[in-house]
Every structure is written in structure tokens, then in C-alpha cells.
A and B are shown apart, each in its own frame.
Chain A
Amino acid sequence: AQSVTQLGSHVSVSEGALVLLRCNYSSSVPPYLFWYVQYPNQGLQLLLKYTSAATLVKGINGFEAEFKKSETSFHLTKPSAHMSDAAEYFCAVSERNNDMRFGAGTRLTVKP
């Protein structure tokens, strides 16, 4: 079955610094990959998704992620962190519209 590993349960960056959240996946078929964000006391919102088109995927709020098949990775980046980016981020994998598997999440803290 497919699975996701998110490296680092907590990441802290300064405002204006690069954000890098790491995600590695395991899948027996070409996967669909997702990044979701969860703000306090809210549900999950889709940031971006990869569906086998362009390997560099741009999402909302200035985030992007690159699918690297050779590294089985789908890391999330943002060039310049903003205070409003503080949240929990989840990577997820789905095998051709079957059930989605989520990583354990990475909590991002942004320091002023």
C-alpha cells in the first residue's frame, strides 16, 4: 500500500526565510501527490497537487512543490515565509483514485 513520510514534525523559520518541508512517498504505481494545510481549529485545505503533468506544481499562497521520481520525493517550498504561514502541513499520496494516505504532519512556526 502507498505511504508517506514527512521528515521533521516541527520546522521553525524566521519571517522572510525559505520554507522547506520534506515529503517522501512510497507507491507501487505512479501516484497522485498532495499538500494540505491546516490552520488552528480548521479543517484541511488543499495547497497543491501533482497529477502527472508538470513536475513543478504551483499552489496557493506562494507555495510550490517538485515531484522527483528518482528520489520519491515531493518537497514543499516557499521562498519567503510570512507569519500567516504558521500552520500544520500534511503530505498525502493516492494511487489512481484509491484511498488517500496522509503523512504525520509538520508543524511550521514562523518567528518574527
Chain B
Amino acid sequence: DADVTQTPRNRITKTGKRIMLECSQTKGHDRMYWYRQDPGLGLQLIYYSFDVKDINKGEISDGYSVSRQAQAKFSLSLESAIPNQTALYFCATSDSSTKGETQYFGPGTRLLVL
């Protein structure tokens, strides 16, 4: 089984709808992240969480919110989806006790907002 899972893998929604993307990990890592990937822009950080009670905005948090329900779960919500939020979304985890703190990525959720 994969260490970092994301659901759903694909989602089509309409403008104005609220949607939630979910991420779960079995790696036991304390830190979790949400990124979006757009062609030619690489990955941009949306939100990150250093532990259950520590949530921080990233580079592009406007229009998004997150919830860290448990150490293993970190969900991303789009309160009112808009077409320019169409992108590939990745969840990642890391262990703060390791030097260099490699991030481990889920398989991604492809979101299309019509």
C-alpha cells in the first residue's frame, strides 16, 4: 500500500461548488503539505502543517482552506471553486527530525473546474 494516499484521484466540479481533497499518510510523519502544480510553474505551496495544531499559509493560500484532523490526515478545501483553480494537487509529508527533511508525495488529484 502507498504511504501517502490522496482521494479522489480525479474530480470535475462546477464554478461555485465547495469541494474537499483528502490526504492520508501511514509514514508517521509530523509535517504535511498541500501543493498545486500548473504547467511551466512547478509546484506552489498552498498550506503546510507542522503538527495538528500548527497550520500555516503558503505562497498561494487565497481561495483555499485546510484542516489537520489528525497527524495522519490533512484535507484541502476549495470553498467556492473557480476555473483558475483547475490544476494538479499534491499532498506531501516530511519528518522534522531528519536532516534535509525529504518530502514524500502522494499520487496527486487532478481537478477540473468548469
Contact = CB atoms under 8 A, between A and B. Distances in A.
Nearest to A105: B42
A100 to B, nearest CB: 6
Interface residues of B, number: 22
Provide the main secondary structure of the chain B interface.
loop
Q: Is the interface of A mostly helix, strand, loop or mixed?
A: strand
A104 B40 contact: yes
B8 to A, nearest CB: 14
A2 B100 CA distance: 15
Given A32-B101, A43-B106, A90 B96 contact: no
Given A51-B99, A51-B100, A45 B105 contact: yes
12 contacts: A9-B40, A43-B105, A43-B106, A44-B103, A44-B105, A46-B103, A49-B102, A51-B99, A90-B42, A90-B43, A104-B40, A105-B40
